[in-house]
Amino acid sequence: MTETAGTGIAIAMPLVAGGITLLKHDRVGTAQLFVTTALTVGTAYGLKQLIRECRPFAEPCSKGGGNWNSMPSDTTALAAAPAEFLRERYGWEYGIPAYAATAFVGWSRVDAQKHHWYDVAASAGISLLYNELITTRYTKRYGFTSDLQAQPNGLFASASYRF
């Protein structure tokens, strides 16, 4: 039951994130979402073929049989890429709910014994890497923007107006 729900949420995550970019008329964000999701899932799938990690439920792996497709979790990659995109592009108000959904997807994969916890963490790390490289912060074409960041020695606040 939780595995099915987790898979459904993983499939819904890029669709929801894509819907948000369309509602915001953010063509650049739509393209960045597509690229980061494709790269994250593609890398996870490729690594899965190269890394021989036995799934938790597949005890006979050591005896020559079993399922060797555990590392990394491509289902979690499908959920993590849009979650990190939403956080990176639009901020934590979008990122927190998306990360909660991704955490459930990861937990459902571990609970169903399809993956180890580190398989799920690897997928999240891959999505973080690609989103850091590709995703930019969203700014409206014209108008006022502000940002507030916690720094080691205090807070950093910025404001700008784009003409």
What one-character-per-residue DSSP string does 20-71 give?
A: HHHHTT-HHHHHHHHHHHHHHHHHHHHHHHHS-B--TT-GGGGGT-S--B-S
What percent of the chain lies above the pLDDT cut of 70?
91
Domain segments of the chain: what residues? 2-162
Q: What is the mean pLDDT of residues 111-125?
A: 93
pLDDT of amino acid 68: 81
| Residue 21 token pair | 């970019």
Q: Which burial class, exposed, middle or buried, applies to 73 when counting CB atoms under 10 A from its CB (0-12, 13-18, 19+)?
A: buried
Three-state secondary structure call for residue 114: coil
Between 64 and 84, the more confident residue is 84
User: Using an 8 Å Cβ cutoff, are 10 and 41 in contact?
Assistant: no
pLDDT of amino acid 160: 77
Q: What is the pTM of this model?
A: 0.82
Sign of dihedral through CA atoms 103, 104, 107, 108? Answer: negative
CA–CA gap between residue 22 and residue 42 (Å, rounded): 24
Helices (H) and strands (E) in the chain, counts: 5, 2
CA–CA gap between residue 1 and residue 154 (Å, rounded): 46
**Residues paired with residue 161 on neighbouring β-strands, in sequence order:** 144
